[in-house]
Structure 1
Amino acid sequence: MTQDTRPTALITGASRGLGSALAEQLAETHHIIAVGKTTGALEELDDRIQAKGGEASLAPMDITVEAAMQQLCRSVYDRWGKLDLWIHSAIFSPPLSPAPDMPEKDYDKAFLTNVKATQRLISYVAPLLGNTGRAVFFDDPRAGEAFFGAYGASKAAQIAMARSWQTETAKIGPMVKILTPRPMPTAVRARFFPGEDRAPLTDIREEAARLLPEILS
């Protein structure tokens, strides 16, 4: 299979963590469209992908910028006409705080990134996926935990929206999957649990390898 005929995989949040690990492993079979805010991290991902004989298109963009996401999806359509897979791993993790003291700017950014941007992306990406593509979201059930007000509420809203889309498309496609990764030593988790012993956590690349068959099945 040549690079031009490989299926396409859009990964939002590909610069670090699980998104980056999945992009690297998927590049063995897919052309990766890697979206992230950190250009240097995307370039490092591209180097790893190329070293393994894969190919990626880098999109250093902020998913909360509507015009950028419109441009991205238009570019995907112009080049490939469709998408085979969308993995949404982009997330904003606000600092933990008691509910009464939650900074409004952090709350607003959490909902802008985790909910509004996701809703926008669903509307833009769904036509590219058509009836045969698939979309993947990752749950992190923190809703109701102490100090997780902004993150927990915004993540719960994101997953509720994904579950609605999953139910709506169950018979007609695209296939929508919601997976719950094991705890990993990501930068997000380090901000939440700075003193945690990270040794028992699942290696990010191992978790990507475990999830990949489920994503593609």
Structure 2
Amino acid sequence: MTSPDLSGRIVVVTGASRGIGWNVALAVAEAGAHVIAIARTVGALEELDDEIKAKGGTATLVPLDLRDLDAIDRLGLSIYERWGKLDGLVGNAGQLGIITPVAHLDQKIWDEVMTVNVTANYRLIRSLDPLLRQSDAGRALFLSSGAAVHCGPYWGVYSASKAALEALVRTYAAEVDSSTVRANLFDPGPLRTQMRAKAKPGEDPETLSHPGVVAADIARMIAPGFTDNGTRFEFLTGNVTRFLG
């Protein structure tokens, strides 16, 4: 797949310290964008920055815990003061919680998962929407999961959080449909990530694809030339579900 030209564009990637987020940040930077890389782990962000610089790209590192919701507002202000716009948002960061019966689920786990997977993305939209509208082609892409649709036993909090995220993004897509902003969902399917290893401890990771395999598609979906809005793309099958029009 040919990489899109993202020269001169500013792109936020959350959960950029490892897995899908790391690979997306690297791919977007290689395509010419300046990456605003967000994650909790400073050391991993610095390693990402080294990789980006080695490939001729640039990044701004933002050590930020997405549970700090007020910090998300400050992020939007900082981007406005420095660049006055935002061209892309990749809402990748997520939290699994634990695999357990709903009746056994601890309130603290529920709150943490919903905060990271749903509330933080709502706050990102609220903070960054004005900046996306200042772009000639603002693009927002949020990572979902098959668990949002196929609600298997013991996956209650993760499934509920991803279903809520999908409803949120579909609503936002409808609201920006007449603007230059586009909002979509991306389901990467099972990949060799830490979250997958935690969810499926008995699974052989070598049977799964490297998380870097999805980076090119995600970069394509935040490029100006990608004009679909309100869609859900499944990487594993290539299926596209259109919710608008």
Identity of aligned residues (%): 38
- Whether 1:16 and 2:18 are equivalent positions in the alignment is yes
Amino acid at match of 2:60: S
The separation in 2 between residues aligned to 1:22 and 1:10, in whole angstroms, is: 10
| 2:166 aligned residue | 159
| 1:201 aligned residue | 208
Among candidates 182, 187, 203, match of residue 180 of structure 1: 187
Per-residue deviation, residues 99-121 of structure 1 (Å, max 9, x unmatched): 11011110111111111111111
Partner secondary structure for residue 11 of structure 2: strand
The separation in 1 between residues aligned to 2:215 and 2:56, in whole angstroms, is: 19
Map 1:77-116; keep pairs closer than 5 Å.
77-116=80-119
Partner secondary structure for residue 204 of structure 2: coil
Amino acid at match of 2:140: A
Cα shift at 1:92: 1.3
Per-residue deviation, residues 137-175 of structure 1 (Å, max 9, x unmatched): 112021421110111101110111001111221222310
Amino acid at match of 2:16: A
| 1:146 aligned residue | 153
| 1:213 aligned residue | 220
Per-residue deviation, residues 73-92 of structure 1 (Å, max 9, x unmatched): 11110110000000000111
TM-score (norm 1): 0.93
- Whether 1:129 and 2:132 are equivalent positions in the alignment is yes
Aligned length: 213
Q: What do you get for the CA RMSD once the two structures are aligned? A: 1.4
Cα shift at 1:211: 3.5
Amino acid at match of 2:50: D
Amino acid at match of 2:21: G
The separation in 2 between residues aligned to 1:81 and 1:210, in whole angstroms, is: 27
Structure 1 residue ranges, 4+ long, deviating more than 4 angstroms after superposition? none
Map 1:33-52; keep pairs closer than 5 Å.
33-52=36-55
Amino acid at match of 1:185: R
The separation in 2 between residues aligned to 1:154 and 1:21, in whole angstroms, is: 24
The separation in 2 between residues aligned to 1:161 and 1:74, in whole angstroms, is: 23
The separation in 2 between residues aligned to 1:186 and 1:145, in whole angstroms, is: 20
Partner secondary structure for residue 60 of structure 2: strand
The separation in 1 between residues aligned to 2:117 and 2:213, in whole angstroms, is: 25
Q: Which runs of 5+ in 1 are unaligned?
A: none
